[in-house]
Structure 1
Amino acid sequence: MCGYHRAVDMISEVIGSVRAGNVGARPVHASGAWGMRYDAFAGSGFHILTRGDAWLITRNEEPVALTAGDVVLSPSGAAHGLSHAPCGFGELPPAVMAVEPPPVEPSDVEFLCGAYRLDRGRAHHYLRAMPDVVAVSPDYDRHPELRSLIGLLGADTAADRPGTRATRSALLDLLLVHVLRLWLEDEGGVTWPALDDPVVSPVLREMHASPEKPWTVQRLSASSGLSRTAFTRRFTAVVGEPPMTYLMNWRLDRGARLLRETSSPLATIARQVGYATEFAFAGAFRREYGVSPGRFRKSV
């Protein structure tokens, strides 16, 4: 149970990181023979099948049958497709993302699509550690709040109204939280090894809670109780990248979120994420995101 609560904390941080992207959601209706391909993108997305049956199509796995209520999650934007019948991924035409008019009569299949698109950067490390595409079959009797959220998102995507950007972002946040929780439950709550490692997990919590501290490998290893070499080896094996690389990415992810969600001056954000000057932060941000912090803030 303790590991599960640590994972829920990580979900909060994952949600915070994807908020640096642009949010989109739309309903899709299909009848007869249909299929569509969603190519890979930087970000996270999901589909909620609200009516009818469908098949989840991926490049390397067998097609997966879906029924109404199932949720498909692409944690780090991997390519996938949906179809009326099993087929090869290459047989599917690309999805057209334009807004559709409401159907005159009920369609055979209806689903909601939602995504956070990161124009710059990449999906959070823990999202990239998940399978490329996962399908979840929620128990709506146990989780009636999820049914309510899906209903709200359906109503929100039916028409654009004042405040749509705020409501859609909040609904996608909540839906992604619930879907990730359900997936963790299905997997037994142990899916991200770093969260259960007795040495690495406490260090990660310190790095996440206080990115502004002048961390070094020496300070981090001292916190872990291991030698510098042993700590670096263990952290890299568990997390997938060296500690200072992870810290830099975490700081820049946090900075991107602050640029999007606040109007704080660049110098303030730089200090909050561990950079001595705004120039140092701006240089690192530009190398990772390919654009200056100011232009990034304007773009979102």
Structure 2
Amino acid sequence: MDVLSEALAAMRTGRTRSARTDVRAPWGLRFPAVTGTTFHVVLQGTCWLLPGDGTAPLPLSAGDVVFLREGSAHALADQPGSPLIEFVPSRETPDSPIGQVRVDGPGDRAILLCGAYQLDRARPHPLMRDLPALIHLTRSPELGPLVDLLARELDLSLPGRDGIVPSLVDAMLLYILRAWTGGDASRWGLALSDRAISHALRDIHARPEHPWTVEELATRGGVSRSVFAERFTALVGQPPMTYLAWWRMTSAGRMLRESDTPLRTVAQSVGYTSEFAFAKAFKRAYGTPPGRYRRPA
């Protein structure tokens, strides 16, 4: 059980949308706040990220990737002082996953891929809450080939591009999260590398229907109950049973969104023998009954 992949999959609420952005200086694009999380990949040239919170502009160059956790308002420009226009991609159809933005000018050219991941921010995974507001990754041996593939697919526009590019962009998010969790400052990186805690997370994700207890999880991880509970809470950001309850409801929400599985089966798959008890817990977590959540008015 890959905890990182499962956590990300559970938060998805829609397909990733992006736009190939081909600009020549002078240029500046204003990005409004979105409900998901925003990303930018510099495929060619250089530019500046202008955060909306007034922090210092950030220079970007080819191969750089930027991830904005909150999807907050910001801008990109060839220079910090360039005039800004709204970022409005054109799409062949409203459902096209890849749009186009073009700004002509006499100066240097830059090509970017700009977009947003559709992730549930109402019930964020503790991993997402622990992320910094801005992640900036420079070209690396691991991420560089993926950026090159994106550039190639966008330039050639061959059959299958609309399926390949979103898949590459989705893979890029896992690379971003993997790079961050591998850092020394990441609690989740420590959690995933801690034998007892990572073992417990895999157990919870793989078998949410099991009547887990703190003692059983601690025993399976080879540590005492008190040590396990303290370490889990410190690294994950929630006590073990709180995380278990969160994961059960998150898994149930995902099943309701993505399938027509009967409510009784959904309830049993996340550890509830009573459909009534499940419905009550689900409404407490989501603010709406599971039937209405599946078929919103």
Classify the TM-score, shorter chain. Answer: 0.7 to 0.9
CA offsets per residue over residues 41-85 of structure 1, 9 Å max, x none? 3x4331112333221233374322111332111245455443333
Q: TM-score, normalised by structure 1?
A: 0.74
- 2:247 aligned with 1:250, yes or no? yes
Q: Is the 8 A contact 2:30 2:84 kept in 1?
A: yes
Shift of 1:179: 3.5
Alignment correspondent of 1:86:
80
Aligned length: 283
**What code does the residue aligned with 1:15 have?**
L
Shift of 1:154: 7.0
Alignment correspondent of 2:41:
48
RMSD over aligned CA atoms reads 3.9
- Please say which of residues 241-250 and 134-143 is displaced more in the overlay: 134-143
Shift of 1:137: 2.1
SS of equivalent residue, structure 2 residue 279:
helix
Alignment correspondent of 2:210:
213
SS of equivalent residue, structure 2 residue 210:
coil
Alignment correspondent of 2:189:
192
SS of equivalent residue, structure 1 residue 82:
strand
- Please say which of residues 264-273 and 120-129 is displaced more in the overlay: 120-129
Unaligned residue ranges in structure 2 (runs of 5+)? 92-98
C-alpha separation in 2, matches of 1:13 and 1:111: 29
Shift of 1:129: 1.7
Larger-gyration structure (1/2): 2
Shift of 1:215: 1.8
**What code does the residue aligned with 1:82 have?**
L
**What code does the residue aligned with 1:177 have?**
L
Alignment correspondent of 1:232:
229
Q: Is the 8 A contact 1:23 1:168 kept in 2?
A: no
Give the 5 Å matches for 1:1-300: 9-31=2-24, 32-39=26-33, 41=35, 43-58=36-51, 59=53, 61-75=55-69, 77=71, 80-86=74-80, 95-96=87-88, 99=91, 103=102, 108-118=109-119, 121-139=122-140, 143-152=144-153, 170-183=167-180, 187=183, 192-224=189-221, 226=223, 228-298=225-295
**What code does the residue aligned with 1:220 have?**
L
Shift of 1:211: 0.9
SS of equivalent residue, structure 2 residue 59:
strand
SS of equivalent residue, structure 2 residue 114:
strand
SS of equivalent residue, structure 2 residue 21:
strand
Q: Is the 8 A contact 2:209 2:272 kept in 1?
A: yes
CA offsets per residue over residues 20-57 of structure 1, 9 Å max, x none? 3453223334442414244363x433111233322123
C-alpha separation in 2, matches of 1:274 and 1:98: 46
Q: TM-score, normalised by structure 2?
A: 0.74
